[in-house]
Structure 1
Amino acid sequence: MEFWDATVEELKQGYIEQKEGYVCLLCGETVEKGIIYPQDDMLYEAEKYMQIHIQEKHQSVFAYLIGLDKKLTGLTEHQNNLLSLFYQGKSDTEVQQELGIGSASTIRHHRFVLKEKERQAKTFLALMELLKEKDQHAPAFVPVHKQAKMVDERYNITEEEQQKAVSKYFSEGKLEKFPLKEKQKLMVLREITNRLDDDKKYTENELNDVLTAIYDDYVLIRRYLIEYGFVDRKADGSSYWLKK
């Protein structure tokens, strides 16, 4: 949620400042103010250490954002490739040679199209901000999690729908039945993730224990949590954790 509520400037730096510390918008890592953090035989105050964390764990904010699903960035695969090469500092000629398309003038045209997209995005953001001040009937939508796969109509979920689904499918903390419809599956899985610790890495047995307490067919739930991009794991299945 902090990711989607962040300003453009906060997204650019990759973290937000809170009263007690700094929170990485890319993974949720938190560093506390007033503590000196050691790194490579050096000592850093909290904000600088957060900047180092982003560089070491995510390469850069650009690398993280460009790697998000195209439904979240609005970029085509071709535009994604172009932006990546531009970010690397390559000239139009170098980009043309690497992609093997058109000529240097073709790349300049793509730059123009991207600038048009930027101008449109700024205008659209301004319109949406103004709309918030007037639209009293807009429903509150559940934010799409950043690691969501195959983002489509299934993710069109309001907070009211989410609450109703929890009431329908859960009783005293237990999932009574796993729904067949994709949208309902998504709402149920989202609720299950609330039972998992954001900062914990689970062994397979630990995760199975948590899921079994929710639903008898823990293997089914585990598979869908991974398939929908809520949970990641090591290739050998020795460790599982919530994606952020």
Structure 2
Amino acid sequence: MTGQQSSGDPRRFLDEGRLRRSPRRWRDKQAVTRYLATLAMPHLLEPLTERELTDRLADLADDPVGLRRAMVDLGLVSRTRDGAEYWRTERTEHDETSDAAATAQRVLGEDR
């Protein structure tokens, strides 16, 4: 893309690569959260500690805890009952196909 993002591009809500405020419209909030989840957790099912995830999100948003909560609420990310560990469970439109295939092979044990 050349310098400008289309109206459907979630990056239009970022200021110098950071989310300063969550968009007002629900559809836009979902789009931005899906995009940032993919950036912060590029590999499906890769476990991260709460601190690791929060640190990654702090690089992307002014409210990393709120963003983490939104990712869980949308079902993009799961966590252990005590909240000590998180992992992304949903593939988004921002994932590369090759990453999804590699994850499937790793999870299914087909990389023999």
What TM-score do the two structures reach when normalised by structure 1?
Answer: 0.32
- 1:190-205 alignment runs, 5 A limit: 190-195=34-39, 196-199=41-44, 200-205=46-51
Larger Rg: 1
Question: Over residues 176-224 of structure 1, what are the superposed CA-to-partner deviations in whole Å (9 max), with x where a residue is unaligned?
Answer: 3211221110011011022112142110000000111111211110111
Instruction: Tell me the secondary structure at the aligned position of residue 194 of structure 1.
Output: helix
2:23 aligned to which of 153, 157, 179: 179
Distance 2:64 2:20 in 1: 13
Q: Which residue of 1 aligns with 2:32?
A: 188
1:223 aligned to which of 60, 69, 75: 69
**Superposition deviation, residue 161 in structure 1:** 4.3
- 1:73-112 alignment runs, 5 A limit: none
Higher relative contact order (CA 8 A, sep 6+): 2
Q: Which residue of 1 aligns with 2:88?
A: 242
Distance 2:85 2:21 in 1: 27
Distance 1:184 1:213 in 2: 20
> 5+ unaligned residues in a row in structure 2: which ranges?
1-5, 91-112
Q: Which runs of 4+ in 1 moved over 3 A?
A: none
What TM-score do the two structures reach when normalised by structure 2?
Answer: 0.67
Distance 2:24 2:53 in 1: 23
Q: Which residue of 2 aligns with 1:207?
A: 53
Q: Which residue of 1 aligns with 2:99?
A: none
> 5+ unaligned residues in a row in structure 1: which ranges?
1-159
The percent of aligned pairs where both chains have the same amino acid is 30
When you count helix as a share of all residues, which structure comes out higher?
A: 1
Which AA in structure 2 matches 1:205? R
Q: 2:21 touches 2:62 (CA, 8 Å); kept in 1?
A: no
Instruction: Tell me the secondary structure at the aligned position of residue 8 of structure 2.
Output: helix
Distance 1:162 1:231 in 2: 23
**Superposition deviation, residue 175 in structure 1:** 1.1
Instruction: Tell me the secondary structure at the aligned position of residue 232 of structure 1.
Output: strand
Q: Which residue of 2 aligns with 1:57?
A: none
CA RMSD in angstroms comes to: 1.5
**Superposition deviation, residue 162 in structure 1:** 3.2
